[in-house]
């Protein structure tokens, strides 16, 4: 039976150069150390050292890790070997949406506390929805071209009027910001109601009628969030705010 200290020893080769410190090398070392490995850390400090190392071992990338006498590979291979989840860039995930709504809720609670000295109020819910709209719009504004391209896959109005895909992120963000402030509701409410209604109908048709499997553009054009419940929720949220904000003004 092999000794435990041998099992827990890893050899790592990574680039540490004056103009480049490999981030995946640092992540690999940190991961191994968290798992209790003693890391024999070898630096490749010049391009010549790196090229010679890759040629000698027949590999195309660094970092490279050995555990015992077995070459494991790069960072993702080490994660897999240690039983850690490896999320590929093309894998679907709800993480961006969870992050946005979580931050939106925390900001709404913070604003409510500052404004009223309590985190529980009707305005807290309004702020949560409005801030979430703003954050979702901000995600789209990072790359409007990429968003509009993905949006064209399912939005019924954008298919007929391509410019709508470019306008949408600005409209959603504007409506969200105005609703956070409670200002110019006569502008914000119709915008939210219009884009929310068109979006809800489009998503419902694409997912629940046509049964298409698409990526949602709700958090930007690079999103791997599946089109479906999340995007429908975003649009229903805007419809709700578009109806509620004018009604609240009339009731107060």
**pLDDT digits 0-9 by tens, 141-161:** 988 998 898 888 889 999 999
- Taking 50 as the threshold, does the pLDDT of residue 110 lie above it? yes
Q: Where are the domains of the chain?
A: 8-81, 95-251
Asked if residue 216 lies in contact with residue 230, where contact means CB atoms within 8 angstroms, the answer is yes
At residue 150, the pLDDT reads 86
CB-neighbour burial class of residue 159 (10 A; exposed 0-12, middle 13-18, buried 19+): middle
Average pLDDT, the chain: 87
Predicted local distance difference test score (pLDDT) of residue 233: 85
15 and 63 Cβ atoms separated by less than 8 Å: yes
pTM attached to this predicted model: 0.74
Provide mean pLDDT across the span 191-200: 94
Q: Is the pLDDT of residue 18 over 70?
A: yes
Find the farthest-apart pair of alpha carbons in the chain and give their distance in angstroms, rounded: 79
For residues 165-169, give the mean pLDDT: 93
Band of residue 88 on the pLDDT scale cut at 50, 70, 90: low
With contact defined as beta carbons under 8 Å apart, do 22 and 16 qualify? Answer: yes
Higher pLDDT, 16 or 219: 16
- Rounded Cα distance between 43 and 166, Å, is 47
Is residue 107 predicted with pLDDT exceeding 90? yes
Per-residue b/e over 104-138, b at no fewer than 16 CB within 10 Å?
A: bbebbbebbeeeeeeeeeeebbbbbbbbbbbbbbb
The whole-number average pLDDT for the span 21-25 is 93
Q: What percent of the chain has pLDDT over 90?
A: 56
Q: Which fold has domain 8-81?
A: Glutaredoxin (3.40.30)
CA angle 200, 208, 232 (to 5 degrees): 30
Write down the pLDDT at residue 26. 94
């Amino acid at each position: 039976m092999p000794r435990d200290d041998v099992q827990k020893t890893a050899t790592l080769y990574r680039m540490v150069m004056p103009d480049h410190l490999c981030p995946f090398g640092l992540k690999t070392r940190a991961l191994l150390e968290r798992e209790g490995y003693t890391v024999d850390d070898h630096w490749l400090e010049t391009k010549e050292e790196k090229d010679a190392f890759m040629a000698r071992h027949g590999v195309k990338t660094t970092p490279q890790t050995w555990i015992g006498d077995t070459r494991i590979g790069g960072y993702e291979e080490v994660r897999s070997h240690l039983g850690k989840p490896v999320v590929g860039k093309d894998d679907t995930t709800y993480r961006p949406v969870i992050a946005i709504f979580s931050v939106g809720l925390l900001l709404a609670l913070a604003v409510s506390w500052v404004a009223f000295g309590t985190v529980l109020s009707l305005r807290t819910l309004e702020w949560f929805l409005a801030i979430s709209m703003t954050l979702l719009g901000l995600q789209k504004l990072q790359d409007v071209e990429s968003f509009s391209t993905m949006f064209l896959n399912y939005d019924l109005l954008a298919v007929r009027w391509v410019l709508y895909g470019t306008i949408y992120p600005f409209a959603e963000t504007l409506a969200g910001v105005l609703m956070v402030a409670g200002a110019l509701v006569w502008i914000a409410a119709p915008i939210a109601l219009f884009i929310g209604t068109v979006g809800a109908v489009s998503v419902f048709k694409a997912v629940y009628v046509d049964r298409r499997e698409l990526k949602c553009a709700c958090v930007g054009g690079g999103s791997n969030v599946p089109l479906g419940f999340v995007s429908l929720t975003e649009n229903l949220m805007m419809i709700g705010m578009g109806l509620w904000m004018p009604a609240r003004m009339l009731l107060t």
